[in-house]
Structure 1
Amino acid sequence: MDMKKDYDLLRERAELLKVLGHPVRLCIVRGLLNEGEKNVGDMQECLEIPQSTVSQHLAILKSAGIIDNSRQKTENYYHISSPLAKELIEVLFK
């Protein structure tokens, strides 16, 4: 058993859990999984929180590599980019 390798994997998984450990971020990722790509405005209406708050949570998720965005005209649409996060959300809400 390679302790260093195991510890790196544990740290990576712990970081994923930490980022997803906020109810708003968990809701965003679950919504993207269930409903597909969404823009900030769609998420803001669904979550009923200020758009700036949604944007802050999206930035955290994007920085962690959990989501990514694509630009369509003047809008950014977000989607899940982490297969591991997708799998985790599927298990959590099975």
Structure 2
Amino acid sequence: MMNIQEIDSDKLEMAASMLKAIAHPVRIAILKHLEGGKKLTVTEIHELLGIEQSTTSHHLGILKDKGVLCSRREGKNTYYYLKHDILSQIVDCLQRCTCEE
């Protein structure tokens, strides 16, 4: 097993930044909706979550800025998706860790 001193400090900072970005209930819900390679627009996400479109855009911006999400413009729509599919495993892990027994 690799010890913490063997990991590049820049990579640790990036990982911490990504985890901080994810650490919000709305953002966790966004990631959950983007699992499995799904690509959704701001409108689709705000309708799924039942929150304001401006709030959705704000959270998507944070996730994109911190390297959690990517976006691709197609015509009038911008589609958001997980930058790394493996990020959905973090959400799955959190769900398992918060289940009541």
Q: TM-score range by the shorter chain?
A: 0.7 to 0.9
Percent sequence identity over aligned pairs = 32
What are structure 1's unaligned runs of at least 5 residues?
none
Instruction: Work out which of the residue numbers 50, 57, 62 in structure 2 matches 1:60.
Output: 62
For the pair 1:43 / 2:48, whether they are aligned, the reply is no
Cα offsets for 1:71-94 (capped at 9, x unmatched): 111000111013552332343346
TM-score, normalised relative to structure 1: 0.81
Extract unaligned runs of 5+ from structure 2: 97-101
RMSD: 2.4
More deviation, 42-51/77-86? 77-86
Q: Residue by residue, what CA displacement relative to the aligned partner does 1:43-76 show, whole Å, maximum 9, x if unpaired?
A: 1111111100000000000001111111111000
- TM normalised by structure 2 equals 0.76
Q: Aligned equivalents of 1:76 and 1:11: distance in 2?
A: 28
2: CA distance, partners of 1:5 / 1:57: 29
**Cα distance in 2, alignment partners of residues 7 and 36 from structure 1:** 32
Secondary structure of 1:24's aligned partner: helix
Tell me the number of residue pairs that the alignment of Structure 1 and Structure 2 aligns. Answer: 94
